[in-house]
């Protein structure tokens, strides 16, 4: 696979090397394990039915989800990102977001960022949720296609950590990237709060 830098000759920072305070969004640092569990239960109760059916009429499994975002054109003809069909936005007050800092043009999870996932990992091990979706988000800096790819790579890296270091069954996790298409703060698309990894309880 080509290195990320080969995808775009001159890349822009999508997730800041200096993460914004998690408290700005619904993050894990200010929530207890019990509060996180309640959020996941609420998401599960509302039924985020995301896994799409294939053309043959068979339900697609978690491994079939690619996380590819489509593109569309606005009224002025500019290309804009569209969230993939397997992403259902959750009200900001019910989102479980983690602000994770990555190095410039990198999808490697840094050691100093792993403690941010500790409480979340604990909850995921015990909560009655069979399937979680890990959703990578970016701000609007850079091209939509680049942001979508980088958000997917970073969501996949968080999944790898949860499986390898936290012991979460990989079949309980689906990683997708939606790039800049679903900002936490739509009025400020370049704001740091939009650079996040969101966790959804699918069922």
Decide: 67 and 177 in contact? Cβ < 8 Å: yes
**Tens-digit pLDDT profile for residues 138-148:** 889 888 899 99
CB 24: neighbour CB atoms within 10 A? 15
d(CA 99, CA 92): 14
Confidence of residue 95 (pLDDT cuts 50, 70, 90): confident
d(CA 138, CA 197): 9
Q: What percent of the chain has pLDDT over 90?
A: 27
Which pLDDT value is given to residue 75? 47
The pLDDT of residue 106 is above 90: no
The pLDDT of residue 200 is above 80: yes
Which of 45-49, 59-63, 125-129 comes out lowest in average pLDDT? Answer: 59-63
Please say whether the dihedral angle defined by the alpha carbons of residues 85, 89, 95 and 98, taken in this order, is positive or negative.
Answer: positive
**Tens-digit pLDDT profile for residues 9-58:** 222 223 333 333 333 445 666 788 998 899 888 888 776 544 333 333 33
Which pLDDT value is given to residue 47? 60
3-state SS, the chain, equals: CCCHHHHCCCCCCCCCCCCCCHHHCCECCCCCHHHHHHHHHHHHHHCCCCCCECCCCCECCHHHCCCCCEEEECCCCCEEEECCCCCCCCCHHHCEEECCCCCCCCCCCCHHHHHHHHHHHHHHHHCCCCCEEEEEECCCCCCHHHHHHHHHHHHHHHHHHHHHCCCCCHHHEEEEEEECCCCCCCCCCCCHHHCCEEEEECC
Which pLDDT value is given to residue 156? 94
**Domains of the chain in sequence order:** 23-50+64-201 (3.30.1330.60)
Over residues 88-108, mean pLDDT: 82
Give the CA distances from residue 118 to residues 59, 69, 96, 151, 166, in Å, rounded to whole numbers and listed in that order. 33, 29, 14, 21, 8
- Cα Rg of the chain (Å, integer): 16
Beta-carbon contacts of residue 102 (< 8 Å; ≥ 6 apart): 15, 17, 108, 109, 110, 113, 154
**Tens-digit pLDDT profile for residues 152-197:** 998 999 999 999 999 999 999 999 999 998 888 999 999 888 888 9
């Amino acid at each position: 696979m080509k290195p990320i830098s080969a995808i775009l000759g001159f890349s822009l920072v999508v997730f800041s090397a200096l993460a914004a305070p998690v408290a700005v969004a619904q993050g894990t640092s200010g929530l207890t394990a019990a509060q996180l569990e309640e959020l996941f239960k609420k998401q599960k109760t509302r039924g985020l039915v995301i896994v799409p059916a294939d053309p043959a009429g068979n339900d697609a499994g978690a491994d079939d989800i690619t996380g590819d975002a489509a593109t569309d054109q606005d009224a002025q003809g500019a290309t804009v990102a569209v969230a993939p069909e397997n992403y259902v936005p959750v009200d900001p007050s019910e989102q479980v977001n983690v602000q994770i800092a990555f190095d410039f043009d990198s999808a490697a999870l840094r050691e100093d960022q792993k403690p941010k996932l500790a409480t979340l990992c604990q909850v995921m091990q015990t909560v009655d949720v069979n399937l979680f979706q890990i959703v990578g988000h970016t701000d609007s800096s850079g091209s939509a296609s680049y942001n979508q790819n980088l958000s997917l790579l970073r969501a996949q890296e968080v999944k790898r950590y949860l499986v390898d270091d936290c012991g979460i069954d990989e079949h309980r996790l689906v990683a997708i990237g939606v790039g800049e298409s679903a900002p936490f703060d739509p009025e400020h698309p370049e704001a740091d709060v939009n650079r996040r990894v969101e966790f959804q309880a699918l069922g």
